[in-house]
């Protein structure tokens, strides 16, 4: 009962702090970390701990799955090289640099243990970065790269993490074995993800029951993750791959009612899971510090500062300088050049969060011999310091940096949205003309004219918005002929799906317009009890 009460109290705290975050304009992850730290040092409050095994299985799969489902496959492919450059190359370099610095600074810290730390802090978390960037209106190329990177680098970092932990447990490390395992776990995870994505998609295509579909969807990341534990491949890559696959098929796999419910359920779930993990970052401080009495305060501060600086500036240098090198070694016709201001912003958007936290908390408690896992508390402490430093330092300075660099929204999202809205309205008018000349419907001329005028007003409105006019359309449509309106909504939906398939719009635009059609359709469908 005590644990249940603690969980309920944490959930309530997340809701309250979310409201406070909006009022004081401080990113929610930063506020959660600071609040958790304060609560963790209050005497008399119960200590909050999680089983290391549950951290990976309960928190990470659903968070990465939902993010993958919403990722724009078009943008992911477009910036695949930049994403790989960061998600694979930068993660490996960061892990090596952090391990080298930690091994040099900390007496008796073995290379495998140092690589564990490097692997833990190497992947980034895009939650705070993209929330700030999107609110300030930066170009989509930046958010696409940062979000895509955060999906893939989790897998790279966690594969290295598992291999480094295994090296600590066994006392053996082989470069050839490491390389083989890296490829085996990575490729195996992708194949399992594709297989499970295909299986789940085929099951859900055959369902037309919203509660059952939502239940299967909520269970999906765990169902995908389970086979990877048996096959010893990357569960994170499997979840991400399956999420991308199911996200691509989502518009045709779910009806409007299911999709609205799906989005609401997943938004709430990921909000609570993210909030819980960020609170845990702060709540663990007191217990971690209590296990570090053998080190002086100045030692801990110096090590934490050195590791944090190494983590931050390795990314910044790799992003800025590496971007120039990669640009010049590529054929000119294949170059996608990002302005230096964009590269600096991407380099500074390297906040660490839930993945690093989960990996640190999941460190084994002991070795096979029964001895305590070496430097476990110190590794967790240094991880928490990197998370706190990147979240607070980079998170609070990201907005001023965006303004200083004068990086602005390129308007691509709005152009795609307006162009698609116009094509949707034109397709609806064309479909309406087909229905008007047919003989299988019973609709009067006046109603046809009202519907036609409604869509014409929409075309004029969205065309004017291209020229800076933001007046709301004055057209109105009644719901006297619901079957006709549902038919027109279906026509508009086809335009959206075809636009996404042809690469004319991103998934962000797809989800925005799709959600509007889903709500409109739900108002027309008969109510069920």
Residues 90 and 178 in one domain: yes
Q: What per-residue confidence (pLDDT) applies to 26?
A: 76
Residues 251 and 160 in one domain: yes
- Which has the closest alpha carbon to 193: 232, 235, 148? 235
- Which has the closest alpha carbon to 168: 113, 223, 219? 113
pTM, two decimals, is 0.83
Q: What per-residue confidence (pLDDT) applies to 520?
A: 85
Q: How far apart are CA 33 and CA 437, in angstroms?
A: 63
Residues 178 and 260 in one domain: yes
Final residue of a domain: which of 361, 387, 405? Answer: 405
Residues 150 and 260 in one domain: yes
Q: How far apart are CA 208 and CA 380, in angstroms?
A: 46
Helix (H, G, I), strand (E, B) or coil at 399: helix
Residues 210 and 187 in one domain: yes
Could you give phi then psi for residue 304, rounded to 5 degrees? Answer: -60, -45
Q: What per-residue confidence (pLDDT) applies to 529?
A: 44
Query: Taking the chain (529 residues) in consecutive chunks of 10 residues, what is each chunk's mean pLDDT?
Result: 74 87 78 82 71 72 88 85 88 94 91 92 74 66 84 83 86 76 87 96 90 94 92 89 92 88 91 82 76 86 95 92 64 65 88 82 82 88 90 83 83 85 90 73 70 84 70 53 83 92 88 89 69
What range defines the domain where residue 138 resides?
53-264+297-405
Domain count, the chain: 2
Contact 92, 144 (CB under 8 A): no
Contact 142, 340 (CB under 8 A): no
Q: How far apart are CA 444 and CA 320, in angstroms?
A: 64
Q: What per-residue confidence (pLDDT) applies to 363?
A: 85
Residues 334 and 206 in one domain: yes
Q: How far apart are CA 391 and CA 350, in angstroms?
A: 9
Within 44-110, residue ranges assigned H as helices are 52-54, 60-70, 73-78, 80-84, 91-105
Q: How far apart are CA 470 and CA 464, in angstroms?
A: 8
Give kind and range of the element (H or E) at residue 461.
Answer: helix 445-465
Residues 380 and 484 in one domain: no
- Which has the closest alpha carbon to 422: 454, 452, 456? 456
Q: What per-residue confidence (pLDDT) applies to 149?
A: 86
CATH code at 149? 1.20.1530.20
Residue with tokens 């508390």: 377
Q: What per-residue confidence (pLDDT) applies to 96?
A: 94
**For residue 48, is it within any domain?**
no
Q: How far apart are CA 450 and CA 214, in angstroms?
A: 38
Q: What per-residue confidence (pLDDT) applies to 92?
A: 92
**Dihedral over alpha carbons 216, 222, 227, 230 (to 10 degrees):** -150
Residues 239 and 305 in one domain: yes
Residues 329 and 258 in one domain: yes
């Amino acid at each position: 009962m005590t644990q249940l009460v603690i969980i309920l109290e944490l959930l309530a705290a997340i809701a309250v702090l979310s409201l406070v975050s909006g009022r004081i304009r401080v990113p929610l992850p930063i506020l959660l970390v600071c609040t958790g730290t304060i609560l963790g040092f209050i005497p008399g409050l119960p200590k909050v701990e999680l089983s290391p095994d549950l951290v990976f299985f309960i928190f990470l799969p659903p968070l990465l799955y939902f993010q993958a489902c919403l990722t724009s496959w078009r943008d992911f492919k477009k910036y695949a090289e930049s994403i790989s450059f960061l998600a694979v190359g930068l993660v490996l370099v960061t892990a090596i640099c952090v391990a080298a610095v930690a091994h040099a600074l900390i007496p008796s810290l073995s290379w495998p243990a140092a690589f564990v730390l490097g692997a833990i802090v190497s992947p980034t978390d895009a939650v705070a970065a993209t929330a700030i960037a999107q609110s300030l209106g930066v170009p989509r190329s930046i958010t696409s790269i940062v979000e895509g990177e955060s999906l893939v680098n989790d897998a790279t970092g966690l594969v290295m993490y598992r291999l480094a932990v295994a090296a600590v447990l066994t006392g053996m490390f082989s470069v050839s074995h490491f390389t083989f395992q890296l490829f085996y776990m990575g490729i195996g995870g992708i194949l399992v993800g594709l297989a499970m994505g295909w299986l789940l998609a085929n099951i859900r295509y055959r369902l037309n029951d919203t509660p059952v579909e939502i239940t299967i969807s909520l269970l999906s990341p765990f169902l995908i993750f389970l086979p990877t534990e048996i096959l010893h491949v990357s569960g994170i890559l499997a979840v991400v791959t399956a999420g991308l696959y199911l996200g691509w098929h989502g518009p045709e796999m779910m009806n409007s009612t299911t999709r609205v419910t799906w989005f609401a359920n997943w938004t709430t779930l990921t909000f609570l899971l993210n909030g819980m993990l960020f609170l845990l970052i702060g709540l663990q401080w007191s217990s971690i510090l209590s296990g570090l009495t053998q080190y002086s305060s100045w030692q801990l501060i110096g090590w934490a500062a050195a590791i944090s600086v190494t983590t931050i500036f390795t990314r910044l240098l790799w992003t800025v300088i590496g971007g120039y090198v990669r640009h010049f070694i590529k054929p000119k016709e294949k170059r996608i050049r990002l302005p230096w201001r964009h590269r600096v912003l991407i380099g500074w958007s390297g906040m660490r969060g839930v993945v690093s936290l989960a990996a640190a908390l999941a460190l084994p408690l002991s070795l096979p011999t029964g001895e305590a896992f070496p430097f476990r508390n110190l590794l967790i402490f240094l991880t928490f310091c990197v998370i706190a430093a990147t979240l607070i330092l980079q998170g609070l300075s990201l907005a001023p940096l965006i303004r200083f660099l004068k990086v602005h929204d390129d308007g691509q999202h709005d152009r795609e949205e307006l162009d698609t809205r116009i094509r949707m309205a034109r397709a609806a008018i064309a479909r309406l003309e087909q229905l008007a000349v047919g003989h299988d419907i019973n609709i009067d001329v006046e109603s046809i004219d009202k519907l036609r005028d409604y869509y014409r007003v929409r075309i004029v409105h969205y065309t004017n918005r291209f020229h800076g006019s933001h007046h709301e359309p004055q057209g109105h449509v009644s719901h006297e002929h619901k079957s006709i309106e549902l038919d027109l909504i279906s026509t508009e939906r086809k335009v959206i799906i075809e636009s996404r398939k042809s690469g004319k719009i991103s998934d962000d635009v797809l989800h925005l317009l799709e959600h509007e059609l889903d709500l409109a359709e739900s108002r027309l469908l008969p109510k069920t009890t």
